[in-house]
Amino acid sequence: MLETPATALRFSRLLLTGAAGGLGRELRPRLKRYCDTLRLSDIADMAPAKAGEEVRPCELKDADAVMALVEGVQAIVHLGGVSTEQPWAPILAANIMGVVNLYEAARIHQVKRVVFASSNHVMGFYRQDEVVDARSLPRPDGFYGLSKAFGEDVAQMYWDRWGIETVSVRIGSSFPEPKDRRMLSTWLSYDDLERLVMAALSAPVVGHSIIYGTSDNSSGWYDNRLARHIGYRPQDSSDRFRAAVEAAQPVLDLSDAAVLHQGGGFVKATPHG
């Protein structure tokens, strides 16, 4: 949790989907500091509501349930959905139908700002020696990355037609520590995740903006200059883990597609497990 809040702005009611997941559990106490009421949602079990929290189980593919979930919120942090390469059916339900249901509900209930947890896997088939920015063409590395590219397009359409603003955050690898050599370039600390989400919620004008979500790592392949208006300033870096990670993985096989590409192992993960 940040010692100094990332913004002085205060929200009436925020909705956090995917609240039972890894990032949802991490953001739950952090987001609570910025709002009067935090509404939490997932299909998986969540810890009981504390003061100032509302716990609302919800299946994202259920349009009526999502419509009720979104009523009365000021802004949405949308983390819910399938977060790895999976067969098409669950991805269709959670990440395709789910994201449309969410934006339709946002339109009906006049929610003005969404932070969408997109993924680096929208760009997974770029090589690690290429630099990409928000205007680079998507090259998804599987059904999962494809579904996140679709989510970004939904966000763009709801901005163009309905004026709902979104920051699509192409999150790199947000875990306690980078797990391998690739993650030295893609790592996003939890404190920087909080900084990024709060910057995305509080920037005055975002339209539909795309930003890459990493810490201030020495190595990387993301150029965020087109997202300067969001005001995200990472303050952590994977560099303090570099020596240990390199010692554990000193040799890389350059004939391996997972080593060459930005998406790492996702570029060869099969949809059928």
Annotated catalytic residues are 144
CB of 11 or CB of 150, closer to ligand 15L: 150
Q: Is 6 exposed, middle or buried (0-12, 13-18, 19+ CB in 10 A)?
A: buried
**Alpha carbon distance 153, 28 (integer Å):** 27
| Interacting residues of 250 by C-beta distance below 8 A, sequence separation 6+ | none
Smallest distance, Å, CB 151 to ligand 15L?
12
CB of 58 or CB of 230, closer to ligand NAI: 58
136, 126 Cβ separation under 8 angstroms: yes
**Alpha carbon distance 31, 27 (integer Å):** 6
Give yes or no for residue 173 binding ligand 15L (CB under 6 A): yes
Give yes or no for residue 61 binding ligand NAI (CB under 6 A): yes
Give yes or no for residue 249 binding ligand 15L (CB under 6 A): no
**Alpha carbon distance 12, 31 (integer Å):** 12
CB of 186 or CB of 209, closer to ligand 15L: 186
Site map (CB under 6 A) of ligand NAI, residues 155-174, x = contact: ----------------x-xx
- Three-state secondary structure readout of 95-111: HHHHHHHHHHHHHHCCC
Smallest distance, Å, CB 83 to ligand 15L?
4
The span from the first CA to the last CA of the chain, in angstroms, equals 35
The residue behind tokens 């392949």 is: 221
Q: Write out the binding residues for ligand NAI, residues 70-109 only, by CB under 6 A.
A: 79-83, 93-94, 98
**Choice from 11, 14, 15, 18 touching ligand NAI (CB under 6 A):** 18
Q: For the beta carbon of residue 116, count every other beta carbon within 10 angstroms.
A: 25
Smallest distance, Å, CB 101 to ligand NAI?
10
**Choice from 37, 41, 95, 120 touching ligand 15L (CB under 6 A):** 120
**Alpha carbon distance 240, 170 (integer Å):** 23
Site residues (vs ligand 15L, CB under 6 A): 83-84, 119-121, 173, 186, 264
Site residues (vs ligand NAI, CB under 6 A): 18, 20-24, 42-44, 59-61, 79-83, 93-94, 98, 117, 119, 171, 173-174
